[in-house]
Amino acid sequence: MTGMARTAHRYRTLATQIAATIRAGALRGGHRLPSVRHLSRERGISVTTTLAAYRELEASGLVEARARSGYFVCRNHAEAPVPRAPRLNPRAPVARLSVSPGIEALMVSMRDSTVLPLGAATIDAALLPARSLNRLMATLARESAAAGATYGPPQGVATLRQQLANRSLTWGTAIPADGFVVTVGAMEALNLALRAVTRPGDLIALESPTYFGVLQVAEGLGLRVIEIPCASGDGLDLDHLAQVLRAQPVRACVASPNFHNPTGSCMSNESKERLVRLLARHDLPLVEDDLYGDLAFDGTRPSCAQAFDRHGRVLLCGSVSKTLAPGYRVGWVAAGRYQARVEQLKFSHTIANATLPQMAVAEFLSTGRYDRHLRSLRATFAVQVQRMREAVTACFPEGTRISQPQGAFFLWIELPPALDTMALQQAALRARIAVAPGPLFSASGRFGNFLRLSCGLPWSARVSAGIARLGELIDAQLARARPRRR
């Protein structure tokens, strides 16, 4: 080990030890850390090393330097409690679908690169193997003169469907190549799946909160929805769902058992099996959104609920948009007993996917590259989520609750009840920061004090400053709210 490497090793060790102590709750918010000189003497290390460790802790948002006073543990450093699930009445009237105008603000921010993108669930381009994938597509485009000159098969290119069949083994199931329809991302998959199993006016059950895209699809199809509580831990409240199924004429259920968006919850295999059996008893289809299943931080790929389905009632939706290439628009649905209907619908929806992007993804999946890439991406997301969590803990007010996801790349945050995150979204957008306010994730405008933050960007001074600014905006809103309440 060189001298420089030794120094780096020493300050990181020290920083890690202090961080662990803070996270364990042994050092509370506002606590003053030992002075640099004192700690150096005590540990028998150089002042430079201690200072480097403190700066590292400062960069990660755990401590803050105060002028002429030294380093202090940030307030809210401890693990905040996780957000609460909504209380819902299974016999209450069905929520009227009011898809939020906040989605439009989200779209605006997608178009403008000067806005810090913590709103939409997008991933920094540098984290995705776009260069390799584009090179593959370039080669295929030159070699296959005719690709593009004909409509591809409506069901999708055969090589891609074969690769998906192979990958389905890692999902705890085994879907044949003919069991897939390739779609324009998971968004089209959700559209086709829901269209295949419902008619306008039908009632569907979905998670509360739920991905806002599902709400838009439901609205577009003229569906009515009933919300089932979904918590940060094991996800969907199955007891509640069972009550709803007894009380209401539900026609289908939509759920995202693996790293649910936005709560990050991951259902256990037991819960998945229970969910599938419960729906089977009522002869109901499950539209399963498995968009994030490949992104477990610990590398253990959770099974999809479809793996527990023996009757073809699960329509499994996925895509490569969160792991490989959102701009390729390659997704899929494996629709079980509804496969023929979904194939027809695909034709009348978009006829077929663009051919060459499908071929390139198939080629990429056929090598070992995808798994190598996934390993690195999961580790990266684990770090990014952790740092975002620390920064939010440090910068957001007392009473904030933060999800502890074990996969994917967003945080679901419950702020003090007085906060209005729809207003916060507007204020943040003026400060060039995009966030996704809670009401976007509800059919009935719930979660008014909730926020989803995307951790798809590598940690940076810009992101750090963005979180700090959000904290200020939240404080300002709370300060304005208090006098009004008196």
Residues that bind its own copies (CB under 8 A): 103-104, 107, 110-111, 120, 122-123, 125-126, 128, 130-131, 133-135, 137-139, 141-142, 144-155, 184-185, 187-188, 191, 195, 199-201, 213, 216-217, 219-220, 222, 321, 325-329, 343-345, 347-357
Nearer CB in complex with its own copies: 85/361 = 361
Q: Which amino acid is at 406?
A: Q
> Please, what's the b/e burial string for 458-480 (b: 16 or more CB within 10 A of its CB; e: otherwise)?
ebeeebbebbebbbebbeebeee
Question: Minimum CB separation from its own copies for residue 20, in Å?
Answer: 35
Long-range CB pairs of 214-217 (<8 Å, 24+ gap) are: 214/190, 214/254, 214/289, 215/97, 215/99, 215/441, 215/442, 215/443, 216/99, 216/103, 217/187, 217/190, 217/191
How far, CA to CA in Å, does 109 sit from each of 56, 117, 127, 173, 435? 31, 7, 20, 38, 9
Nearer CB in complex with its own copies: 120/278 = 120
Question: Minimum CB separation from its own copies for residue 365, in Å?
Answer: 15
Cα–Cα dist 330/84, whole Å = 34
Question: Minimum CB separation from its own copies for residue 218, in Å?
Answer: 10
Nearer CB in complex with its own copies: 21/367 = 367
Question: Minimum CB separation from its own copies for residue 127, in Å?
Answer: 8
Question: Minimum CB separation from its own copies for residue 227, in Å?
Answer: 19
Question: Minimum CB separation from its own copies for residue 63, in Å?
Answer: 35
On the question of a cis peptide bond just before residue 209, with omega within 30 degrees of 0, the verdict is yes
Nearer CB in complex with its own copies: 5/149 = 149
Alpha helices by DSSP H, listed for 87-184, are 102-111, 130-143, 158-168
Cα–Cα dist 29/64, whole Å = 10
Report the 10 Å Cβ neighbour count for 112: 11
Cα–Cα dist 442/425, whole Å = 16
Nearer CB in complex with its own copies: 17/348 = 348
Question: Minimum CB separation from its own copies for residue 152, in Å?
Answer: 5
- Total residues belonging to the chain: 486
Nearer CB in complex with its own copies: 133/286 = 133
Nearer CB in complex with its own copies: 149/461 = 149
